[in-house]
Amino acid sequence: MTERTAPLTGVTVLEIGAFMAAPFATMQLADLGADVIKVEHSIGGDPVRQTGPFLGTESSPFVRINRNKRSVALDLKSPDARRAFLRLVERADVLVENLRPGAMGRLGLGHEALRELNPRLVYASASGWGQDGPLASLPGLDIMAQARSGLMSITGHPDSPPAKVGVPICDLVCGLYLALAVTAALRERDRSGAGQYIDVSLFEAGVSFAVWEAGKYFATGEVGGPLGSAHQSQAPYQAVRSSDGYVTIGAITPRNWQAFCGALGLTELLTDPRYPDSFSRLQNRAELIETIETVTSGRSTAEIVERLNEAGVPCAPIADYGEVFTDAHLAVRDFFWDAAHPTVGPVRQLGSPMRLSETPVRRTAAGPVLGAHTREVLLAAGCSEPEIDHLIASGAATADGK
């Protein structure tokens, strides 16, 4: 994949990010062709660099979530390093950051200050709770956002301890919203010529998922709770027991319900007065699932999936990640790919779900060594070799991890 074909080619993005939300957002932009310059602290860099497992001395998570980026290592508390950073800002299109609200302002790098320097700059902030409001100053990690957003109240099984979603969903979707907002702001800048400020929080990102719960609460006042794998509003739509595990089913439309019952020899359910439609089946879900499992528990997952696939009924086995990462369908679609890294060799990557027919996403390099691009980026921004040497000698910058 060549960089010139990607849709955001020519867009320069500065990232001051740590851990997940901002780096995940800029990974999307980098995949789409943006030149993402990851500005990290000169000592240690992004804390994810210290997160295992490790490939040699490099963090395995880091080299995946920071692919297709360049690394510049600067201590932004140093006046000299800040001046060098401001040269990058003058030429940038986007800045993405996820420091605690107010931290960028205390460095003299808040939106208002940078807008004076570069009125075309799109400035995007991710935070736990947003840039204002009574919670804004509090630390906010993914699990806190999952807790306060209601997600943990509906995750897991009834009468079980609280459970979070298995991946850092608030972090990740905050990053996706951030990337979407940046592309929208760039489109607006095409019309107006001016940048703008973007404020996205993990909290609101988590609340935005409550589509079914909001439909119920704002209509009836009912507060949802955990349902295991079952759907909030339809049945049967959940995992059911097989002889060797579980299989997920979704037989909620009239056509799929009829095909489901026919495929598993449950045709008596089609005339049962308790189950004429999906809403009625929801009201009688406990009895319905018990009846379905009298059949499915005597058959293997593979047999059930085969029968339901033949009947055109939505279903799937529950895969672990060992199976996912070796999945034949994903292999045919070339989802996984290997990114080059200068010290650890090829690094297997999760593919981008965005498949653009004419301007495909980039597949270039794994996450860079700390400061790998400090010198080349600062030279391109107008810094002189002596200035860069001074920054490195003073500890205000790092080049090539040294």
**Ramachandran area for residue 108 (φ above 0: left; ψ -120 to 50: alpha; else beta):** left
Comparing C-alpha atoms, which of 134, 138, 208 is closest to residue 172? 208
User: CA-CA distance, 93 to 123, in Å (whole number)?
Assistant: 9
Comparing C-alpha atoms, which of 1, 11, 63 is closest to residue 36? 11
Instruction: Spell out a b/e string for 41-69, using b for 16 or more CB atoms within 10 Å of the CB, else e.
Output: bbeebbebbeeeeebeebbbbbbbbbbbb
Give the three-state DSSP class for 288: helix
Instruction: Spell out a b/e string for 119-154, using b for 16 or more CB atoms within 10 Å of the CB, else e.
Output: eebbbbbbbbbbeeeebbeeebebbbbbbbbbbbbb
User: CA-CA distance, 269 to 262, in Å (whole number)?
Assistant: 10
279: which 2 tokens?
């809403």
User: CA-CA distance, 243 to 305, in Å (whole number)?
Assistant: 13
Q: What is the CA radius of gyration of the chain?
A: 25
User: CA-CA distance, 265 to 253, in Å (whole number)?
Assistant: 18
Comparing C-alpha atoms, which of 168, 169, 26, 9 is closest to residue 97? 26
17: which 2 tokens?
């990010």
- Is the CB of residue 87 less than 8 Å from the CB of residue 381? yes
Its sign, for the CA torsion 171, 172, 178, 181, is negative
CB-count exposure of residue 308 (10 Å: 0-12, 13-18, 19+): buried
Comparing C-alpha atoms, which of 168, 316, 155, 161 is closest to residue 232? 155
Residues catalogued as catalytic: 171
CA atoms within 13 A on the CB side of 382: 9
